[in-house]
Amino acid sequence: MRISRNPQEVHLPVAPYVHQIEITGPHKWLTLSGQIGMTVDGTVPEEPIAQLKIALDNIQKNLERASMTIEDLTKVVFYLVGDFDATERKKVMNDFFGDHFPCMTLLYVVALAAPTLKVEIDAWACQEII
């Protein structure tokens, strides 16, 4: 079964996409659209680290809406624009993931969908159905 969702706890999509697609069967798969540093009211802070924290929070809210946790994440891709303090970026990411280590890719790109956006994160999660 395939279920598309836009959780109320996350801002409305800024283009024609959904925030998540859940696929169930022997395993439940969740695929998220790129999560950006935008709050539910549409605010995008200028500071890149603040955007990173919000984007990660949006991932967590999407996971919660699908009855999943950070431990269900299997793959995460970070797209970053501009200067990020590496030490602070690593701290934010370590605080979010804790002892969970999904597959991960981090890319620096020239731009995202809007000039104000400095972070976009793709994520996939999987949960065994018992």
CATH no. for residue 63?
3.30.1330.40
Residue 44: domain span: 2-128
Region 15-33: mean pLDDT is 88
H-only helix segments in 19-99? 48-65, 86-97
| Residues 104-130: tens digit of each pLDDT | 999 999 999 999 999 999 999 999 887
- The pLDDT of residue 47 is 97
pLDDT digits (tens, 9 = 90+) for 46-60: 999 999 999 999 999
| pLDDT tens digits for range 76-105 | 999 999 999 999 999 999 999 998 889 899
Distance from C-alpha of 20 to C-alpha of 6, rounded to nearest angstrom: 7
Q: What global pTM score does this model have? A: 0.88
Q: How many domains does the chain have?
A: 1
C-alpha 13/C-alpha 29 separation (Å) is 20
Distance separating alpha carbons of residues 66 and 14, to the nearest angstrom: 21
